[in-house]
Amino acid sequence: MTDVETEVLVIGSGAGGAVTAAKLARAGRDVTVVEEGPWIDPDEMVPFSLEEMAAKYRHRPSVALGNPVIAYTEGRCVGGSTEINSGLYHRLPPELAAEWAARYEIDEFTPATLDRYATEIEHEIAVTRLPGAPPPSSAVLERGATKLGWRAVEFERVFTYDEAGRSTKQTMARTLVPRAVEKGARVLPDCRVERLIRREGRVAGARCRQHTPEGARKLVIYADHVFVCAGAIQTPALLQRSGIRAGIGSGLKLHPTIKIAARFPQPIDHGDVPMHRVTEFAPNLTIGGSITRRGHAALALAESGVEPANALENWEQVGVYYAAIRSDAAGAVVALPGLRAPLVTYRLTEGDMSRLARGLVHLGEVLLAAGATELYPSVTGGVVVRRPEELVAWWDATARRSSNLMTVHMTSTVRIGEDRSRAGADSFGRIWGYDNLRVNDASLVPDAPGVNPQAAIMAIAARNVARFLAG
């Protein structure tokens, strides 16, 4: 057993952990980051390739149990989910910040405060729009929305562009993790924190298992302060495994998402994630597009129940699009003794199912208006639609037994706020009852933001570190 000592231990190196480590290291703190996944050079793998999925995803399909189940994905590597995400960037809508501050009694959570930290983050990582015309897969959404008279916008992204217009995603492994290291932070990849060491209202450090070329070894890290940034699923699981349960893990929020594989008369490019969003019904319903490689098209087609081999013919003409909702439901994350992965549950309400059906129909309308010739919904046995008047069949088809749903946005499992009966952490992420234990990741976002969450997570994390540094 090896021992390490550090002033601040940061567990997880994704959107929340990288901000935390970089800001603390820059302030001269002695920082150690432990990351369960591997440290992979951001240039080593083709973005969205199978190789990247195998290396950087937390493996095995994960599902939130409920009726229907909801498949979810998480990153597991240095940089966390920012390494595998689409890089779409949207600040937290100010009306939600104001509503949450009041509802959950969160101090210093005004839109102006969050905007100040968002600006700081945006200077650190490039946040830009496309330098030229959108790719055809994205233009589809803009064209369809314009024909229907609906609002659509191009979202900003955390990308840089070279003179030839080639884009590079500014993930945490490319930006804030190296900056933390430059300022003296140590990063221990392949090192999973199994549990925290508790002592009289404080946390003394963490027990870890590190994989090295020589084999697995146990590691104990002693720390004056601990920030848990393992993501909205793994953070509550780790706290519960460590015996910390009050207000931890309940209140999980997701953006349940339903998809369509749309066939067009001509190939649409598959190089990039569509950056347009139809925001006519936002924030409660958002329409967008996903990366489409052959495998994604096959999966999306299979989810409609058709024979994928036939439907995959000319797959270059197929693009995958989605409708995501803010749901009334809430879920839970529960660490079970002896099991490595937590149990995750999420029960959609009747209202949620109805919103998903509406989302699917609106998504179908946009795609047909944009010139799609065949629509395959992610509803098993759902009718393949070719004309707008056929969309009505999807209202009834979007049932619990037949809907194939997914999400990549999980939040709210350690909600912040001053009401201890409803919040797991205080307004700045300090776990109630512990002086030196903080959470600083997606878990803290008090509710589903209705937009891509990375911007909100990073701004909240920067705000919390500033508070910590102020003493």
Ligand X SMILES: Cc1cc2nc3c(=O)[nH]c(=O)nc-3n(C[C@H](O)[C@H](O)[C@H](O)COP(=O)(O)OP(=O)(O)OC[C@H]3O[C@@H](n4cnc5c(N)ncnc54)[C@H](O)[C@@H]3O)c2cc1C
Q: Which candidate, 227, 240, 258, 220, places its Cα nearest to that of 8?
A: 227
Name which of 272 and 365 has its Cβ closer to ligand X. Answer: 272
Name which of 249 and 382 has its Cβ closer to ligand X. Answer: 249
464 binding ligand X? (CB under 6 A): no
Q: Which candidate, 365, 359, 279, places its Cα nearest to that of 327?
A: 359
CB of 381 to ligand X, least distance (A): 27
Q: How far apart are CA 27 and CA 181, in angstroms?
A: 13
256 binding ligand X? (CB under 6 A): no
Place of tokens 């779409």: 88
Name which of 237 and 366 has its Cβ closer to ligand X. Answer: 237
Among 23, 26, 29, 76, binds ligand X (CB under 6 A): 76
Name which of 97 and 368 has its Cβ closer to ligand X. Answer: 97
CB of 406 to ligand X, least distance (A): 9
Residues paired with residue 157 on neighbouring β-strands, in sequence order: 88, 128
283: cis peptide before it, omega within 30°? yes
Q: What is the SS3 assignment for 101?
A: helix
12 binding ligand X? (CB under 6 A): yes
List of E strands, 331-447: 331-334, 343-346, 374-377, 405-407, 410-411, 437-439
Choosing from 255, 270, 276, 409, the catalytic residue is: 409
DSSP-assigned states of every residue in 149-190: T--EEEPEESEEE-TT--EEE--TTTTHHHHHHHTT-EEE-S
409 is an active site residue? yes
Among 6, 9, 14, 365, binds ligand X (CB under 6 A): 14
Q: Which candidate, 181, 202, 204, 184, places its Cα nearest to that of 78?
A: 181
17 binding ligand X? (CB under 6 A): yes
81 binding ligand X? (CB under 6 A): yes
CB of 86 to ligand X, least distance (A): 3
CB of 386 to ligand X, least distance (A): 30
| Interface with ligand X: number of residues (CB under 6 A) | 41
Tell me the residue length of the chain: 471
**Residues of this chain that bind ligand X (CB under 6 A):** 11-17, 34-37, 73-77, 80-82, 84-88, 192-193, 229-232, 234, 238, 408-409, 441-442, 452-455, 457
The residues annotated as belonging to the active site are 409
